[in-house]
Chain A
Amino acid sequence: MKVLQSDETLVKIAFSGKLDSASVSTIEVKLFALLNGIESPVVFDFTEVGFIGSLGIRMVLMAAKEVKRQGYTLKIENANDDVENVFMLTSLGDLLN
């Protein structure tokens, strides 16, 4: 997980590899610390994400909840077809840019 941009206009975070149970457990705390007290919309860059498991989707769901709680929106960019399909099957297509 890498923060590409964090200012008053946008918070952009890039993820890479597999978003499965193992990786989610290591990045989750750091991600939610970053999302705490944001002052702009958030974008997750999935260019380098090859797979997303159920806990990965759940993490995104919780992140969307947190961002919404602070009055902003969360969007996902550059997801590959597989990842996009999982989001569509989970009725989360509106998160995709």
Chain B
Amino acid sequence: MSTLEIIATMVAGIGLFFSGIKILSNSMKNLASHRFRLIIAKWTNNPFLAAFWGFASGMITQSSSNTVFILVGLVRGGLIGVRAALPVIIWSSVGTTVLIFLVAINIKLGILILVGFSGIFFGFDKGSRRESFYAAIFGISLLLFGFHELKSGSTPFAQMEFIRNIFQYAKDSYIVAILIGIALRFLIHSSTTIAVLIMTISDSGLIGLDQVILMIFSMSFGEALSIYVMSSNIKGVSKQVVIFKIVESVSAATLLLCISFIEMGWHIPLTKYAVSTLGATIIQQTAFAFLFLKSAPVFVLPLIYGPIYKALAKFSPPTVEEDLSETKYISEQSLADVSTALILVENEQNRIFERFSKYIDNIRTEKESESSYDFSVINKSNVHLINEIDSYLKSIINLNLSPTNSEIYVLLQNRQTMLKSIDETVFSFVSTVFESELSNALEKLIQNSAESLHVNFITAFEATKSRDKFDVEILLKITGDKGPLMEKIRKTHLSEEYELNQGDKVVLLYVTDLFQRIIWLLNNWAKSISTVQGEK
């Protein structure tokens, strides 16, 4: 492999790796049905199953970093909490040591088959129920394939002449040995590969057991650095998973390096004594040093999960999007009582409805408050919440519904459909206005429309909350048919007097159409409130 080929392979690996994470995260959000969530939650809430899952994942993927990024996807999709992910992380590190002992298991064939089949199923699926599942598997396989490619490039990279020369320096200095361990792990992205490399180098007599131990232990600093860089685009709650992995790596490396220095300085038999006793050859001793590094956190960190979890929550609080995406009322527990569950659905729907006026704030010159959110953040969180409510409603239908509850259920389903349509239409309206460069003539019309829409949403929300007859009447009045008015506005603005350019004309037609649709949807919403009122 030429140097250029090595670098290209590593770049391709990084690209596939990131694409895999993105596909996995997105599909996990879609896959996050209540039933699936319950299974995952059951696995991770049981510490033994979580440990097993982590261990198996580390063993199969040959990388604890991989497991961390898979967990990031699961946390982002709301499938598991950060607390439940902690044991999985530390046990996945232990899982990676199995392969060091077996040294040369090649899982490339398995990954290739997985990429192929999951890609075929994903590519040929025409929007079936399993699409998200195929996408998730394809994401995982792409992530593993990317990592494998990265490693494929890393292995010849590690065998290059200058890398071997670097080891010569480590022979005479402990500090150099530590720096080499950090640098190699940062560059090569696979602790297993480096451990194997150190085994080979030590076996050739280039370095001794002291250097082996220091290099192996300091690798975790490089791992922490590498994960920190790779996770730069991750924020909020899912970042907590990454930070925990960094804490795990740094604490293991610090603890074992301190122990090693005590042993070297005061000649107290500790880690070096243990690995030289357990391993007959330098290769076996390297494997045991690697096992010590990867299993040390298992004995220390579980004792302080509570304080760590609190610190993580403080250090990387939820992002605005995560905050807005979180359900406030509906939960698994509330499914126990159908009537309560239906009330909670209505409250959750009202939360989404309240945000519609915040969308409009993005294009208004006169904002009522500074606490407005970016429209794309509102859209993402609303879509997430709508999906959550959909899943919850699916769970409710499986319960025994009384005739009254069945009627309420149908009403809530209708509201759900309206919420989806309103959300999509308002988002299109705001994003179109936001992204268009408007002439003064059109700007005026858009501003007036924005103020009008804002008052419509505020009035609709008040009427939804109060169900006051007069509020509903006002809402029905202000959401009356806008067809003739919009037609008049279009004709006037398209006349020569306004001198709109072609771009403005397109925006005018599209935006007035959306405005008309939003008002029509709000009118339907108003009618749904009066239906509820009538039944009461």
Please report A residues at the B interface, Cβ cutoff 8 Å.
Answer: 18, 20-21, 51-55, 57-58, 61, 65, 69, 82, 85-86, 88-92
Contact = CB atoms under 8 A, between A and B. Distances in A.
Interface stretch (B27-35, B445-453, B499-507): B445-453
A57 B360 CA distance: 15
Interface in B478-492: 478-480, 482, 485
B366 A53 contact: yes
A73 to B, nearest CB: 14
Contact of A57 (B452, B470, B477, B480): B452
A21 B448 contact: no
Contacts, number: 62
Interface residues of B, number: 26
B448 A89 contact: yes
B442 interface: no
B512 to A, nearest CB: 10
A89 B459 CA distance: 15
B458 A91 contact: no
Nearest to A85: B448
13 contacts: A53-B364, A54-B357, A55-B455, A57-B451, A58-B459, A61-B474, A65-B474, A86-B448, A89-B449, A89-B515, A90-B455, A91-B477, A91-B479
A88 B449 CA distance: 10
From DSSP, what is the main secondary structure of chain A's interface residues? helix
Nearest to B462: A58
Contacts of B451: 52-54, 57, 86
Given A54-B454, A69-B470, 11 more contacts: A21-B366, A54-B364, A54-B452, A57-B452, A58-B459, A65-B470, A85-B448, A86-B451, A86-B452, A90-B478, A92-B478
A55 to B, nearest CB: 6
B497 interface: no
A91 B486 CA distance: 12
Interface string B88-126: 000000000000000000000000000000000000000
B164 interface: no
Contacts of A85: 445, 448
A71 to B, nearest CB: 14
A25 B451 CA distance: 17
From DSSP, what is the main secondary structure of chain B's interface residues? helix
B368 A55 contact: yes
B420 interface: no
Given A21-B366, A21-B368, A61-B455, A91 B480 contact: yes
The winner among B357, B445, B478 for most chain A CB atoms within 10 A is B478
A54 B458 contact: yes
The winner among A20, A85, A88, A92 for most chain B CB atoms within 10 A is A85
Contacts of B141: none
B444 interface: yes
Contacts of A20: 366
Contacts of A57: 451-452, 455
B368 to A, nearest CB: 4
A73 B451 CA distance: 24
Contacts of A18: 366
Nearest to B473: A65
Top-4 shortest CB links A-B: A54-B454, A89-B452, A54-B455, A53-B366
B371 to A, nearest CB: 13
Contacts of B478: 61, 90-92
A91 B266 CA distance: 87
B485 A89 contact: yes
Contact of B485 (A65, A69, A82, A88): A88
A18 B515 CA distance: 24
A54 B474 CA distance: 15
B295 interface: no
B65 interface: no
Nearest to A53: B366
Contacts of B364: 53-54
A65 B452 CA distance: 18
Contacts of B480: 91
A49 B334 CA distance: 51
B218 interface: no
Contacts of B193: none
Nearest to B515: A89
